[in-house]
Amino acid sequence: MKVLVVGNGGREHALAWKLLQRERIRQVICIPGNGGTATTKGCQNLPLRVDDFEGIARFALVQNVSLVIVGPELPLSLGITDYLQHEGLTVFGPSKEGSQIEASKCWAKTLMQSAGIPTPGFEVFTNLSAAIAYLETAVAPIVVKADGLAAGKGVTVAATLEEAKTAVETLFHNGFSTVVIEECVTGQEVSILALTDGVSVRPLLPAQDHKRIGEGDTGENTGGMGAYAPAPLVTPALMERIEKEILKPTVNALRQRGIDYRGILYAGLMITPQGPTVLEFNCRFGDPETQAILPLLETPLEELLLACSQKRLEQLPEIAWKPGVAVCVVAAAQGYPGTYQKGQVITGIEQAEELGAKVFCAGTQLKQQQLVTNGGRVLNVTATGETFEEAIATAYAAMDCIQFEGMYYRKDIGHRVVSTTSSLD
């Protein structure tokens, strides 16, 4: 069968790599893909825009594509699933209406509030002066969120009210018409990516991301600088609670609103002393969490995604996982998440993979047969192991083989889990 993957990140390279481990997958086409998918055997890039729904549909129909997997939130929020389904294609990813769970913080918070799903307290503002007046009497730290897609730059955890005011001003100034101001909760963040066909819900392994650019979780927020799975913090009992209190009620609430949500429901949770609470929902696979989760997946990926798209997830046996753990370390371009250069030559991937790691490409492209940088997050070096110590050691040894000018990566990916495990010894 032929599968089409929409997107160009490390997540999409990981999806294509995982799919191609199955003999029944004859070809994966990535739109537009990256330097890694361009050089993966069985994979081909197609240079279409992710919002060229007509072009994508035409290609998929002519090529008899069996499944379209949509990676990023932007085409989902623009209605790619609705369009392709209308053309008769099988699509993994929620409809435009369902994607509001990520595309509108205000919509998602209101859904959670009315369905009794735990989430920090919040207020919604549609004008600057009301938001500033509210902040005059609020207590810091406090969280300011843009109500719309902001490529990972829409959330400020403000340590002071002055910082919160600046964040609100910046969002309105940048054209957002609505902002959400939210209570700041503390604890550890976890990412729960769950498969759903709109009725059944099957969580994947819990993962933890490292959102800040700097070691020790300092500096600016990024799309994610590294991840690991399974996150030991999420015990079976906690996962049961997350399913019961968050995932199932959310899918039910969506269905009650007439939304047939088929795809990934990604719950970004804070595990507080009182229990899990939802910081945000995403309507897609997380990046880089996916790169840490998929190497551990035993059940064929396409069977799971097809079952979601065809509304028969309930009929599948439990998801099977390989033993062990996985760690993914992101290499970024100098300057990211701010401005950065493109076009730097990347070397050492073969040597890195000889050490047992898998390198998923993100912001890369092939230029005159050379792999060069083409984005902020450039590569994801992923390693599995029996223990986190082993997986971390392999990932960093592999990272040492890779070079490009201005390459930056955090040296402490997995620090939380290693210090937790050692303190339990």
Q: How far is the CB of 203 from ligand GLY (least distance, A)?
A: 16
Does 375 participate in binding ligand GLY (rule CB under 6 A)? no
Comparison of 203 and 306: residue with beta carbon closer to ligand GLY: 203
Which of 6, 289, 291, 376 is the binder for ligand GLY (CB under 6 A)? 289
CA distance 424 to 179: 42
* Nearest CB to ligand GLY, comparing residues 10 and 33: 10
Residue 36 or 125: which CB sits closer to ligand GLY? Answer: 36
| 191 C-beta neighbours (distance < 10 Å), count | 25
Asked if 197 is part of the footprint of ligand GLY (rule: CB under 6 A), the reply reads no
For ligand GLY, which residue of 71, 118, 203, 224 counts as binding (CB under 6 A)? Answer: 224
* Contact flag: residue 287 with ligand GLY (CB under 6 A): yes
CB closer to ligand GLY, 285 vs 388: 285
Does residue 147 belong to the site contacting ligand GLY (CB under 6 A)? no
CA separation for the pair 333, 339 (Å, rounded): 9
Site for ligand GLY in 263-282 (CB under 6 A): 282
Which position among 182, 197, 209, 302 is part of the footprint of ligand GLY (CB under 6 A)?
209
Shortest Cβ 329–ligand GLY spacing (Å): 14
Binding to ligand GLY by residue 363, rule CB under 6 A? no
**CB of 190 vs ligand GLY, minimal distance in Å:** 11
94 binds ligand GLY per the rule CB under 6 A:
no
Q: Which is nearer to ligand GLY, 83 or 226 (CB)?
A: 226
Least gap, CB of 187 to ligand GLY (angstroms)? 17
In contact, 208 and 187? CB cutoff 8 Å: no
Nearer to ligand GLY, 13 or 165 (CB): 13
Answer yes or no whether residue 286 interacts with ligand GLY by CB under 6 A. yes
For ligand GLY, which is the closer residue by CB, 209 or 302? 209
From the CB of residue 121, how many other CB atoms can be counted at a distance below 10 Å? 10
- Write down the least CB distance from residue 132 to ligand GLY, Å: 29
What residue ranges bind ligand GLY (CB under 6 A)? 209, 223-224, 282, 286-287, 289
